[in-house]
Structure 1
Amino acid sequence: MSVVKSRDEVALLVKFWNQTEGRDKFCKCLQYGCRGLAWLLMEEKDLAARLSALYKTTADSRKIFRLGKFLNEYLKLQQLFKSTDPQLDQLSKSLNVLNRAAFFAYWVCDNLSILSKIKVIKGDTPKLAKRAFLFWFLALVFGVLVELHKLQKNLDLQIQLQQQQQQQQSAAAKKNSSDGGEGEGERATAATSEALSKLGTERRNIALNIIKNCGDMITAGNGIELPHKILGFGFNDGLIGLGGFVSAFISCFQTYPAA
């Protein structure tokens, strides 16, 4: 039995790695994990230097594989503008458009930054990198606002369903006392319970997305020197590594195939 389970896990891991997004997030775990460990083990100079070299190389490699990713955002923006989804209210649509537009600008600057760094084009690499960090930070802020709006709608719907469930249970109890057996009331209550369960699952995903965005905000905020301006000092590589690793690990968890 253990052999079969091992083979299944290997198959799932290969399936995960074969996804472009999955491989990128795995490399992101490696990048930020090494960055945090290099800071943590700074007294072990040789090991810290090797970990630092690995994190920097992984960071540049990920940037190369993300060339042209702004096209993904272009398609997402097109879909948003064409969307007729009744659940996508005006505020949701506006926040999502701002989120995807900021990511579009981020990918463009990120692509130009790495092309400048490897001398494919002429450009001010540090300036392009800082501009990329700015758009990334804005995208993350809008991303958090998107999730908070989802959470508000989720909680409002939960209250409605809970009230509906109480009414259904009360009606079902009265009906059962008069004619006995399961009827429409029980089935309606079961459907409401299932809807409430789905809302709970959605809230967990919302919480994970908020944590993920906040983890990346540590890196993006430091890239635009936000903590320097507010706190008077920048975040160390240990904190940046932790934030990036947590964000990447959550992405891996969300992307990893269920079966």
Structure 2
Amino acid sequence: MSTLDATRAELALIVLYLNKAEARDKICRAIQYGSKFLSNGQPGTAQNVDKSTSLARKVFRLFKFVNDLHGLISPVPQGTPLPLALLGKSKNALLSTFLFLDQIVWLGRTGIYKNKERTELIGRISLFCWMGSSICTTLVELGELRRLSKSMKKLEKNLKDSDKHKNEEYCAKLQKSNERTLALVKAGLDIVVAVGLLQLAPKKVTPRVTGALGFATSFISCYQADKVVLCVAVASITTQVQGKLKWEACFAHQA
């Protein structure tokens, strides 16, 4: 592959990444919390960027509550323990509520909805819902990691005489464990971010702390979104290659 082809492929991945509303939202989130870190709650350019970016992000989340509403009514995977299933559904319900209420907040911040006091109240309720969903996510990830750990230990016993890192099933479980650990870290940090946004502990969780942790979780979200895009890109390339091979085989057969 030439340098130009490699550059085209890299640019194609970037375009694919930026075409996702979720990816753009997470980039804006990083800008928002980075500005919050710089402003430390003080008036100025950084705080203006924080507020304007926060408002802009709400547009990306319009009707996004449908995603978690769909997850709420979807069947639970077989074998999922009841407590984890209930926590997962609670997370979906809380996150869907947060995203729905966030749209009302957007209407209030843009001046379409005129009741400012109620807008602020709805904003706080929505943040409590987000914090609740983050707590549920933390508990779900802890439970799933425990289940994964047990299954990996059981698999290790069966692979005593062979290299476990060459076993596809073990590697898949290990990768899943790493992904869930990252999700656990993000959810835990998001709880602290929510505490900061709600000003439940203003002396300990200052705007600067909130901004720093929010910035960190934004990068984690960008990384997670990037992995999804990469998987889609690989699948797309694989499909194209398979199609090309079929055409070549067809022409070869006709010849």
In the superposition, the TM-score normalised over structure 1's length comes to 0.79
Superposition RMSD in Å: 2.3
Name the CA distance, whole Å, in 2 between partners of 1:64 and 1:96.
26
* Identity of matched residues, %: 24
Give the partner amino acid of 1:27: C
Counterpart for residue 185 of structure 2: 211
Deviant stretches of 4+, over 4 Å: 189-192
Counterpart for residue 108 of structure 2: 116
Counterpart for residue 177 of structure 1: none
The CA deviation string for residues 179-228 of structure 1, in whole angstroms up to 9 with x for no partner, is xxxxxxx7xx7798222211211111111111211222222112333324
Counterpart for residue 52 of structure 1: 47
> What count of residue pairs does the alignment treat as equivalent?
226
For residues 75-154 of structure 1, what are the structure 2 equivalents within 5 Å? 75-79=70-74, 82-83=75-76, 85-123=77-115, 124-154=118-148
The CA deviation string for residues 66-101 of structure 1, in whole angstroms up to 9 with x for no partner, is 12222111111111xx34x32323222111001101
The CA deviation string for residues 112-168 of structure 1, in whole angstroms up to 9 with x for no partner, is 1121122212331221111111111100000000100110000110111111112xx
Name the CA distance, whole Å, in 2 between partners of 1:190 and 1:67.
45
- Aligned partner of 1:252 among 216, 219, 222: 222
Per the TM alignment, residue 7 of structure 1 is displaced from its structure 2 partner at its CA by 3.0
Q: Rate the CA distance shift 1:141–1:190 in 2: closer, same or farther, 3 A.
A: closer
In the superposition, the TM-score normalised over structure 2's length comes to 0.81
8 Å contact kept, 1:225–1:234? no
- 2:173 is aligned with 1:199: yes
Give the partner amino acid of 2:57: R
8 Å contact kept, 1:151–1:203? yes
Per the TM alignment, residue 110 of structure 1 is displaced from its structure 2 partner at its CA by 1.3
- Structure 2, unaligned runs of 5 or more: 234-255
Per the TM alignment, residue 234 of structure 1 is displaced from its structure 2 partner at its CA by 5.1
Name the CA distance, whole Å, in 2 between partners of 1:3 and 1:239.
43
Counterpart for residue 174 of structure 1: none
Name the CA distance, whole Å, in 2 between partners of 1:234 and 1:136.
20
Per the TM alignment, residue 248 of structure 1 is displaced from its structure 2 partner at its CA by 1.1
Name the CA distance, whole Å, in 1 between partners of 2:45 and 2:150.
51
